[in-house]
Structure 1
């Protein structure tokens, strides 16, 4: 019975399916408080193309209107990015979060500060940390000082750093976390990676998660959908790994014969095509229907059928 009680739903599933209800905002507020480093209170989940409840939702993002510790309204955009062009996807998501929540004709003063949080379950590059933070700053090329911009607000001249306005980006590299969980941040990383939550946790949000995100609290149909989600993730991760390996091997071989840069590009393209074919076949062998495969692989149903022939 203990094993059943200690199995928790992955956060990337819960955030789209179970944490949209106001009664469960405590889990999200704890997550945001820990990763933003200040008390965050959720006002509402914003309606956008990213906040669709459909299981085959094309966009994998959740926009949140919240108050920070200063009482300022901010918009938080959380993405569970699993795409090749992840930086472009993050930029697109932030742009959508800004434009979707300011009405035509409104003053630009209405634009709120946006925090973009990406939960990454795949390798995005070279780096030693599991948590990265970036923001826009204007630095003097010669003086190295940070530009302070004067703006007029409510008939007063206000000095403001661009970083107070421009979005901030937080990248959570889940797979790079390999530490013993001691701090609240580390406890959250442990949950994101392995789905484990300490019984004596005091980390913001995790106590609520223990109560509300139990795997065996879901209905059988919900558990089936969740298990299929995990299966699709494993297939996608295998494909990404094989694409990288095949692209490198073929790129090196052709690079020696025809030029390194061109060979790597061609090898990566061929590896990607083969990886997509393997992913489609793998999902089909695991019982997925063609419409579901098409949505996950971002292909037309005709293209899926052609790959399965």
Structure 2
């Protein structure tokens, strides 16, 4: 029975289906509390276009949009497979959220701060850390001081830093975590990566996750859907990785051949480009054969819908 008790539902599945339930808020609150280093309480889960798959607004996909006890808005998104223009989509999602939550004619003073948390399970780029934090600070070019703005609040003039208003961004690069978990944050990232939770954990939210996210508490049908979800992620990542390696290999080979014939620099450049293009086409064909929608294939590869339909 020990093995049954030690298997938990991965966060990327739970966030779409279980963590919207008020009874399970404590799990998500624990992650936010550890990440912000401040006790965070969720008042409500907000619904928006971001929780729907809208063809004309495909970039604004958010797994959970929450409001904390301060009225600030928190966007939490899990991304399992590579996507082009990922940073641009994060920016778009935050900008749209700000405009969604202020009515026409309403005072700009009612704009709420937005926190964007991206949990990514793919190679986003170069960097040695598993957690990155971005925040707007206005620093003097010569004085090296931080700008303070005088603002009116409750009929009083108060100093305020731009970082108190501007959005903050957190990017958790799950696959870059390769440590023995000792701190609450490390325990959380280890759970995000592996689905494993230590029995004696004291990390906020994880003890609740051990009770509420047990794999064997799901119905057989739910377990089957969950297992298929994990298999699909593995297949997609394998397809993308294989295609990337094939594209690089073809690019190097053609680059070397053309480099010898027409000049090494030009040949390498053209070979890499051609290899990359052929790798993307190969990826798109495989994802299409798996039944992935053309819109998602387009996001993953950068190919147009028309190009995908012609494959």
Q: TM-score per shorter chain, which class? A: 0.7 to 0.9
Q: Secondary structure at the match of 1:73?
A: coil
Match of 2:24 in 1: 24
TM-score, normalised via structure 2 length: 0.85
Q: Which residue of 2 aligns with 1:79?
A: 77
Query: What are the superposed Cα offsets for residues 44-79 of structure 1, whole Å, 9 maximum, x if unpaired?
Result: 00110223499xx96242110002xxxx32111011
Match of 1:275 among 278, 283, 297: 283
Map Cα deviations across residues 188-226 of structure 1 (whole Å, 9 max, x no partner): 111111111111111100111011111111112211221
**1:236-282 deviations in whole A, cap 9, x for unaligned?**
2113312432343344445553355554344323211211212333x
> Counterpart of 1:287?
none
2:8 maps to what in 1?
8
Aligned to 2:231: 231
Alignment partner, residue 98 of structure 1: 98
Matched residues in 2 for 1:128 and 1:34: separation? Answer: 21
In 2: Cα distance, 1:244 partner to 1:89 partner: 22
- For 1:196 and 1:266, how far apart are their aligned partners in 2? 42
Does the 8 A contact of 1:184 with 1:202 survive in 2? Answer: yes
Superposed counterparts of 1:1-309, under 5 Å: 1-52=1-52, 59-67=61-69, 72-81=70-79, 82=81, 83-255=83-255, 257=259, 258=266, 260-281=268-289, 283=290, 290=291, 293-294=293-294, 296-298=296-298, 307=311
Instruction: Report the CA distance between 1:294 and its aligned residue.
Output: 4.4
Report the number of matched residues: 293
CA distance in 1, matches of 2:228, 2:103: 39
State the alpha-carbon separation in 2 of the partners of residues 100 and 246 from structure 1.
Answer: 43
Q: Is the 8 A contact 2:7 2:195 kept in 1?
A: yes
Q: Mind listing any 5+ residue stretches in structure 1 that lack a counterpart?
A: 284-289
Question: Aligned partners of 1:269 and 1:61: how far apart in 2?
Answer: 31
What RMSD in Å do the two structures reach over aligned CA positions? 2.6
